[in-house]
Amino acid sequence: MSIRFDLTYTDIDACEFENRFDQLAKANQELMNKTGIGNDFLGWVDYPVKYDKEEFGRIKKAAQKIQNSCEALVVIGIGGSYLGSKAVISALTSPFFNEEPRAKRKAPKIYFAGQNISGKYLENLLALLKDQDVCVNVISKSGTTTEPAIAFRFFKRFLEEKYGKDGARERIFVTTDKAKGALKFMATEEGYETFVIADDIGGRYSVFTAVGLLPIATAGIDIEALMAGGKSAYEDYNEPKFEKNPCFQYALYRNELYNRGKKIEILVDYDPSLEYLAEWWKQLFGESDGKDGKGLFPASVHFSTDLHSMGQMIQDGPKNHFETVIVIDDDQSDIKVFRDEKNLEGLNYLTGWEIDAINEKAYMGTLLAHVDGDVPNGIIHLKKLDAFHIGKLIYFFEKACGLNGYLMGVNPFDQPGVEAYKKNMFALLHKPGYEALTAELEERL
């Protein structure tokens, strides 16, 4: 199987789920038929099989154009507008992708902007790129989201000063609403090539759309294979038999442990390539679960690195958490430990061991220690790390997230709580229309 879920170390017997099967089947039916709560944002459910082939072709052509015309692509977006593409690019390219020579990369360097409000970050990135040929992909549904809007204002000026308005026009690619919004208006007025953010797909579910696909394709990753993985997941994870459906198993596992009083789910990986997959996963489940005082808090750790910082807390701290471990079954490298005559560090007993095999033993030792420490561990086995399997894993998490929201009784497709900080920020910046709130907040501060 491409993805397998192992319940062995969870302190849950599969038979404990039997009385939940009808509830799970109902949630799955509402999700797949798009009849459940939040169904105006269920376009992602069948997107891998019903996506716009014409736009998909334009995405591949645009990616080729960017590859041929620039040394660096700057992707401007925040949240779901950048995390999905960064997750896939980080998983499927070298950790040192941007530092590699172009002949090896065969693609532009990829940088991200608009995901923070740091003047230092923006200033340093602009300085780094001043002598390079640059293209920009700005991603925003409205075009008015503060963080990416600020970054794009600077990069638009940067490109126009460097290439002129006509030259900049050929280097700016916009992913936005099909018909409305400030960014759509600007793209039409300036003549930028545009791609669509669908009305019925929220940002955190948008990896398979132009939001994720254009940067991913520009990085030289096979988006045909990525979509094939999503399609395979769409077909496989509608299988009604619980024992054959790892997506169902994962959704019920996290829901069962939540009902037992566990409040934190920690996603664990043993490969640095998965660091940003974990960041995307945290947004997916954090924005989807956290409603009405409910929800598991999503956290992540990267082992063995974080065993030297977070391992003590996980092992011996409060028992309010459980771990979900992603294991890549196929080795990523065949590099081996070699013998050293002096053996000052005492490592010669490892002579001939592959580094990945040592990492596997670290995983097994940690698994047993944490289970002995009363921390349940569910294990997601991913057959290999390539575009097809990452595509399948992304859909696996998206569907499990939707199912889990329905099981918890919340709408997993909205995010009303995100607006609170924005209103306060606008008021403190004296944005017109927020005068009353400005006075209230300044008095509190």
Which residue type does 159 have?
L
What pLDDT does 239 receive? Answer: 79
- Active site residue: 287, 323, 398, 399, which one? 287
421 occurs within a structural domain: no
Report the C-alpha gap between 251 and 180 in whole angstroms. Answer: 36
Residue 397 in tokens: 């998490």
102 occurs within a structural domain: yes
249 occurs within a structural domain: yes
Sign of CA dihedral 394, 399, 59, 41: negative
Domain harbouring 17, CATH code: 3.40.50.10490
What pLDDT does 244 receive? Answer: 87
Cis peptide, bond prior to residue 304, ω within 30 of zero: yes
- SS3 of 381, please? strand
Domain co-membership, 107 together with 138: yes
pLDDT bracket for residue 440 (50, 70, 90): confident
Report the C-alpha gap between 88 and 183 in whole angstroms. Answer: 25
User: Among this protein's residues, is 244 annotated catalytic?
Assistant: no
Rounded to an integer, the average pLDDT of 250-254 is 95
Domain co-membership, 188 together with 62: yes
Domain co-membership, 99 together with 246: no
What pLDDT does 257 receive? Answer: 96
- Active site residue: 178, 384, 422, 423, which one? 422
Structural domain for 246, as ranges: 3-36+226-413
pLDDT bracket for residue 331 (50, 70, 90): confident
Domain co-membership, 374 together with 329: yes
CB 247 within 8 A of CB 59: no
Residue 280 in tokens: 């995307």
| Residues 255-293 pLDDT 10s | 999 999 999 999 999 999 999 999 999 999 999 999 999
Task: Provide the 10 A C-beta neighbour count for residue 78.
Answer: 22
421 half-sphere exposure, CB direction, 13 A CA radius:
5
| Residues 13-48 pLDDT 10s | 878 888 889 999 999 999 999 999 999 999 999 999
12 occurs within a structural domain: yes
Domain co-membership, 354 together with 390: yes
Rounded to an integer, the average pLDDT of 357-376 is 96
CB 63 within 8 A of CB 193: no
CB 92 within 8 A of CB 390: yes
Instruction: Give how far Cα 216 sits from Cα of 67, 83, 145, 207, Å.
Output: 12, 11, 23, 9
pLDDT bracket for residue 429 (50, 70, 90): confident
Asked which of 184, 200, 221 is the last residue of a domain, the reply is 221
Question: Is the pLDDT score of 390 beyond 90?
Answer: yes
State the first-to-last Cα distance of the chain, in angstroms, to the nearest integer: 56
443 occurs within a structural domain: no
User: Among this protein's residues, is 224 annotated catalytic?
Assistant: no
Domain co-membership, 174 together with 286: no
Domain co-membership, 169 together with 290: no
Report the C-alpha gap between 279 and 298 in whole angstroms. Answer: 10
Domain co-membership, 26 together with 51: no
Domain co-membership, 213 together with 237: no
440 occurs within a structural domain: no
Domain co-membership, 275 together with 398: yes
Give the H or E element holding residue 50. Answer: helix 47-50
pLDDT bracket for residue 364 (50, 70, 90): very high
| Residues 200-251 pLDDT 10s | 999 999 999 999 999 999 999 999 999 999 999 999 998 778 888 999 999 9
| Residues 68-127 pLDDT 10s | 999 999 999 999 999 999 999 999 999 999 999 999 999 999 999 999 999 999 999 999
Report the C-alpha gap between 439 and 433 in whole angstroms. Answer: 12
Asked which of 221, 249, 283 is the last residue of a domain, the reply is 221
SS3 of 2-35:
CEEEEEEECCCCHHHHHHHHHHHHHHHHHHHCCC
Contacts by residues 176-183 (CB-CB < 8 Å, ≥ 24 positions apart) = 176/138, 176/139, 176/140, 176/141, 176/142, 176/143, 177/141, 177/142, 181/140, 181/141, 181/142, 181/143, 181/144, 182/142, 182/143, 182/144, 182/149, 183/138, 183/140, 183/142, 183/143, 183/144
383 occurs within a structural domain: yes
55 half-sphere exposure, CB direction, 13 A CA radius:
18
How many structural domains comprise the chain? 2
What pLDDT does 436 receive? Answer: 85
Burial of 247-281, coded b for 16+ CB within 10 Å and e otherwise, reads bbbbbbbbbbbbeeebebbbbbbbbebbbbbbbbb
The residues, any chain, with a CB within 8 Å of residue 28's CB and separated by 6 or more, are 238, 240, 248, 403
What pLDDT does 439 receive? Answer: 84
Report the C-alpha gap between 396 and 277 in whole angstroms. Answer: 13
Query: Which is more confident, 143 or 299?
Result: 299
pLDDT bracket for residue 375 (50, 70, 90): very high
- SS3 of 72, please? strand
Asked which of 173, 201, 221 is the last residue of a domain, the reply is 221
The residues, any chain, with a CB within 8 Å of residue 406's CB and separated by 6 or more, are 26, 27, 30, 31, 36, 37, 412
Domain co-membership, 274 together with 408: yes
With 0-12 / 13-18 / 19 or more C-beta atoms within 10 angstroms meaning exposed / middle / buried, residue 432 is: exposed
**What's the pTM?**
0.95
What pLDDT does 433 receive? Answer: 86
Domain co-membership, 202 together with 325: no
CA Rg, the chain, in Å? Answer: 23
Which residue type does 400 have?
A
195 occurs within a structural domain: yes
